[in-house]
């Protein structure tokens, strides 16, 4: 039976890589898929992995009817054997409903990949709706690591290495940004709560006031 499957995890845990692998495996068997993405780091209409892999995709703009797009494609003689959706957290809840309709009415598997919570530890509306509707929710087994070596469970937004907790929910960035730019870092819960990023941890370690020093 076709399924709506939500693969979730933090940033840097291999979601896009798995999406590309699923597409590769099915195309190798002669199947043709439709790939949707939103605000990918490589630019509009791209699905990219941090390993350097990239493929073309359909940009799922705000307000786009994903179900209608598939129906129109098939009506024009196009083929669609499955659907992949990357950056699914950025979709509107109504678009998640459309993904469920693709499964139920068009009998296609839909594989959605996304982050569950934002930099404030709040659910993305798209991810929340996926959790509510998905036939299966799978947590990726590749663990991203906090700077301390513990399993990373939270996404932090940074500006110049400093963690910020206010601002718009969606600001496109990556885990590798220049100083002063908006970036992201994955942290364990302890260091997310303490707002301790790798940059601020290094600064603290270099401070002469970290430990008392007795001359003598």
| Residues noted as catalytic | 87
Cα–Cα distance between 128 and 50 in angstroms, integer? Answer: 25
Cα–Cα distance between 176 and 30 in angstroms, integer? Answer: 36
Question: Under DSSP, is residue 110 helix (H, G, I), strand (E, B) or coil?
Answer: strand
132: phi then psi, degrees, rounded to nearest 5:
-70, -35
Handedness of CA 37, 39, 40, 45 (dihedral sign): positive
How far apart, in Å, are the Cα atoms of 3 and each of 82, 83, 96?
10, 10, 13
Report the DSSP beta bridge partners of residue 163. 158
Cα–Cα distance between 111 and 90 in angstroms, integer? Answer: 15
Element (H, E) at 26: helix 15-27
CB neighbours of 10 closer than 8 A, spacing ≥ 6? 115, 144, 152, 153, 154, 155, 186
- First-to-last alpha carbon distance for the chain, in angstroms, is 76
Which structure tokens are listed for 67? Answer: 């179900």
């Amino acid at each position: 039976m076709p399924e709506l499957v939500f693969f979730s995890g933090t940033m840097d845990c291999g979601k896009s890589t798995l999406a590309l692998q699923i597409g590769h495996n099915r195309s190798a068997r002669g199947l043709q898929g439709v790939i949707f993405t939103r605000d990918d780091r490589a630019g509009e209409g791209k699905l990219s992995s941090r390993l350097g892999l990239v493929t073309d995709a359909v940009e799922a703009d705000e307000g786009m009817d994903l179900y209608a797009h598939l129906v129109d494609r098939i009506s024009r003689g196009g083929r669609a054997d499955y659907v992949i959706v990357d950056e699914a957290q950025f979709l509107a809840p109504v678009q998640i409903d459309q993904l469920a309709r693709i499964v139920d009415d068009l009998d296609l598997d839909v594989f959605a990949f996304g982050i569950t919570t934002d930099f404030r530890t709040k659910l993305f509306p798209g991810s929340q709706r996926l959790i509510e509707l998905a036939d299966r929710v799978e947590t990726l087994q590749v663990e991203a690591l906090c700077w301390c070596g513990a399993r990373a469970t939270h996404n932090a937004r940074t500006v110049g290495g400093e963690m910020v907790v206010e601002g718009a929910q969606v600001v496109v960035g990556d885990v590798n940004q220049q100083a002063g730019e908006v970036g992201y870092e994955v942290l364990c819960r302890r260091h997310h709560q303490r707002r301790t990023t790798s940059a601020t941890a290094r600064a603290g370690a270099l401070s002469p006031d970290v430990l008392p020093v007795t001359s003598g």
